[in-house]
Amino acid sequence: MNDAIMQLIELQQIDHQRGDLASRIKGLESQKEQLRHKAEQERSAVEKLQEHLETLKHNSRMMNLEVDKLDDQIREYQDQLDTGIISFKEMEALRMKISNQRIRIGEMEDKALHLMDEIEETTAQHAREVENLAAREVDLDSEMAKIDVHIEQLRRELDDWKEKRARIVAVLPRHTVQQYDHLHVKFDDPVVPIEKGTCSGCKLTVSGTTVERARDGMEIVTCENCSRILYAR
Ligand SMILES: [Zn+2]
């Protein structure tokens, strides 16, 4: 077999290896991206819980202020009742207001108690989730670090193949490499054997002359149909 053909076959094998490595690297990178995304989602879930907790605390403070305000009003009404010179009708109205405010305070105190319970539960839940998250982050970081090591290893392999490829390219005629590269853009297998008189790339019959020229191995022969480089086994 023609030397150039043997080198082209080797070049194709190297390119297959490179393609395989490149797609494995891509797969690992997307795996890493998924882990990063997962970590982000988990962090944001804990942040949301924290925000919810802050809102509950804020609502609780607001409710206490509201109760204090109602308390102050009751005291004010009581003062007016005790010291003011007011009509019986006004006194009745004040008493009614005081009674309504007390009912309102009672309701709010119930709500405030529920809220305190919720704050307590949420605080405990948040603490648990913060702890879980820290553990998860350690796990995810170590998984990502492992992937990085793997990617690094594959990149080194890829570099080795690139060097091997460069060595072959250096000994091949320039136009042959160009011909191969041009075909490689279209086909994964630019160099194929002739099998039972057909090009094993496009599966079409090649002429008898082509088969003979390929068998002679004196030159580079191509398929009349798809232009792939042919060789006889
Ligand atoms: Zn063909």
How many angstroms separate the alpha carbon of residue 225 from the centre of ligand 1?
5
Q: What protein residues have CB closer than 5 angstroms to ion ligand 1?
A: 199, 201-202, 223, 225-226, 228
pLDDT band at 85 (very low <50, low <70, confident <90, very high): confident
> Cα torsion for 84, 85, 87, 90, to the nearest 10°?
-20
Residue written as token pair 């990502």 = 144
- For 207-217, what is each residue's pLDDT tens digit? 999 999 999 98
**Mean pLDDT along residues 91-116:** 94
Any idea what the Cα angle at residue 207 is, between residues 206 and 209, rounded to 5°?
Answer: 130
Contact 6, 221 (CB under 8 A): no
- For 60-73, what is each residue's pLDDT tens digit? 999 999 999 999 99
How many angstroms separate the alpha carbon of residue 184 from the centre of ligand 1?
13
| pLDDT tops 90 at residue 1 | no
Helix (H) or strand (E) holding 199: strand 198-199
- Quote the pLDDT of residue 144: 97
How many angstroms separate the alpha carbon of residue 215 from the centre of ligand 1?
16
How many angstroms separate the alpha carbon of residue 94 from the centre of ligand 1?
103
- Quote the pLDDT of residue 135: 96
How many angstroms separate the alpha carbon of residue 136 from the centre of ligand 1?
54
- Domains of the chain in sequence order: 3-172 (1.10.287.1490), 174-233 (no CATH)
* Alpha-carbon span 129 to 135, nearest angstrom: 10
How many angstroms separate the alpha carbon of residue 125 from the centre of ligand 1?
67
Mean pLDDT in the chain? 95
How many angstroms separate the alpha carbon of residue 193 from the centre of ligand 1?
10
Task: Report percent pLDDT > 70 for the chain.
Answer: 100
- For 173-191, what is each residue's pLDDT tens digit? 999 999 999 999 999 999 9
| pLDDT tops 90 at residue 12 | yes
Handedness of CA 52, 58, 63, 64 (dihedral sign): positive
- Quote the pLDDT of residue 84: 79
Helix (H) or strand (E) holding 198: strand 198-199
| pLDDT tops 90 at residue 157 | yes
Task: Report percent pLDDT > 90 for the chain.
Answer: 94
**Residue 116, token pair as written in the block:** 């305190």
- For 29-43, what is each residue's pLDDT tens digit? 999 999 999 999 999
How many angstroms separate the alpha carbon of residue 1 from the centre of ligand 1?
19
How many angstroms separate the alpha carbon of residue 219 from the centre of ligand 1?
17
How many angstroms separate the alpha carbon of residue 212 from the centre of ligand 1?
16
Q: Which residues of 80-90 are buried (b: 16+ CB within 10 A; e: fewer)?
A: beeeeeeeeee
pTM for this entry: 0.77
How many angstroms separate the alpha carbon of residue 65 from the centre of ligand 1?
86
